[in-house]
Amino acid sequence: MIKPQITYEDFDKVDIRVGEVIKVEDFPKAHKPAYKLTIDFGREIGIKKSSAQLVKNQTKEELLGKQVVCVVNFAPRQIGPFVSEVLTLGPDDGTNEESNWVVLTPLKIVPLGRGVK
Residue 117 has pLDDT above 90, yes or no: no
Give me the domains of the chain, ranges plus CATH numbers. Answer: 15-88 (2.40.50.140)
pTM (2 d.p.)? 0.94
Task: Give per-residue pLDDT as tens, 49-107.
Answer: 999 999 999 999 999 999 999 999 999 999 999 999 999 999 999 998 988 999 999 99
Contacts 24+ apart (CB under 8 A), 29-36: 29/80, 29/81, 29/82, 30/79, 30/80, 30/82, 31/79, 31/80, 32/98, 32/99, 33/98, 33/99, 34/79, 34/99, 35/60, 35/63, 36/82
Residue 43 has pLDDT above 90, yes or no: yes
- Give the residue-averaged pLDDT of 20-45: 96
Answer whether 40's CB lies under 8 Å from 22's CB. Answer: yes
Residue 9 has pLDDT above 90, yes or no: yes
Answer whether 53's CB lies under 8 Å from 34's CB. Answer: yes
Residue 1 has pLDDT above 90, yes or no: no
